[in-house]
Structure 1
């Protein structure tokens, strides 16, 4: 069964090129020209969304925030911006990945495939400890049956570390694994995300699960 992709970009030439490329590779492709149309179309069931950041009116960051509560699929940002804060904002808004323009279409496809493979993993076990449950199938975390409010990338950090308890990973390794592609890790993003996860756990009176190993990185407490 072919994968369904939504491509959102106000650059009609780029949109057409991406559409033709992915269709030739047997993907089902839909497109949107602006943020408003993207929010409406995102209500359908897509396997991945390729989303331009710099669009007039409602930009990609706003679109991502608007749809993330109801859309579980990977969202890959296309951006001409290289500033670190723009990348951080994209990931914190619920995005899973970003690629800088101009880009190699082969690299974009590789990232799409990497995210699709991650989504297809059928994990059939949960991790449970004193009312704290990580449901790897639902990709959710529960505390005394109450679901924690986590962004997709925050859950990804919990999943990765918890599946490798006791092992220490530096920020670059965590970033690479969670974002699903080879790139230099963005230490600032991981530090901020782990801080947010800890605050959410603290608010629900959850014991410390993510341990800082000074000078080395982080690990999940066994």
Structure 2
């Protein structure tokens, strides 16, 4: 049976040693990084879950998470002594899946890890990801088609790419700048305001077929995310 891989990122050596030992006793394969830059390098080992400290020198946890989310889809759990609601919101907006306050018990940490890994196993397999289904909405990524309540929804190429990007990362917040750079490219002429216009058109087309749900949610002051509740 393949061991599930966990990447543990914290600049405190004692915490790293303690948590690594505890998680290895649970049967996990644990990689450790002392800062954000090491975490970005070790993410190439494709961990199933990342435990990420917030307060680190040079590259803090929030910025590390944002960079990880450019190529990593696994659950990211923040570990932090910062208890303010603003910090928790910032962590989730950066692409985190959970926020665990220090000090925490090992029992709680293990329970959170187990819950996230179990949720991932229940999710889509790589083979399934060509077709995404959300309630009455179906997105065929290979066929470039979208269907809502049995009706085909006609999208332009860029509109489809925006839907695909957000739907492939449900709950993750993307800024307008990130969406523009990913889909139009760094050297494109224009600005990220065009993303807002495209999303308005997508919402109007969705509403015509699925009036009771709004899949693309605005995160005020930050950007957009795919909401499946």
Q: Is the 8 A contact 1:94 1:152 kept in 2?
A: no
| CA distance in 1: counterparts of 2:132 and 2:41, whole angstroms | 34
Q: Is the 8 A contact 1:8 1:33 kept in 2?
A: yes
| CA distance in 2: counterparts of 1:104 and 1:200, whole angstroms | 46
| TM-score, normalisation: structure 2 | 0.63
Q: Is the 8 A contact 1:50 1:77 kept in 2?
A: yes
| CA distance in 1: counterparts of 2:98 and 2:27, whole angstroms | 22
Q: Over aligned residues, Cα RMSD in angstroms?
A: 3.5
Matched, 1:204 2:202: yes
Matched, 1:8 2:23: no
Q: Is the 8 A contact 1:201 1:207 kept in 2?
A: no
Q: CA deviation at 1:40?
A: 1.0
Matched, 1:154 2:171: yes
Higher Cα radius of gyration:
2
Q: CA deviation at 1:126?
A: 4.3
Q: Is the 8 A contact 1:61 1:93 kept in 2?
A: yes
Q: CA deviation at 1:16?
A: 0.5
Task: Tell me what 1:26 maps to.
Answer: 27
Q: Is the 8 A contact 2:170 2:228 kept in 1?
A: no
| CA distance in 1: counterparts of 2:39 and 2:88, whole angstroms | 20
Q: Is the 8 A contact 2:93 2:172 kept in 1?
A: no
| CA distance in 1: counterparts of 2:198 and 2:41, whole angstroms | 31
Q: CA deviation at 1:133?
A: 3.0
| CA distance in 1: counterparts of 2:24 and 2:112, whole angstroms | 17
Q: CA deviation at 1:128?
A: 7.7
| TM-score, normalisation: structure 1 | 0.65
Q: CA deviation at 1:96?
A: 0.2
Q: CA deviation at 1:147?
A: 4.6
Q: Aligned pair in 2 of structure 1 residues 128, 73: CA closer, same or farther (>3 Å)?
A: closer
3-state secondary structure, aligned to 2:90:
helix
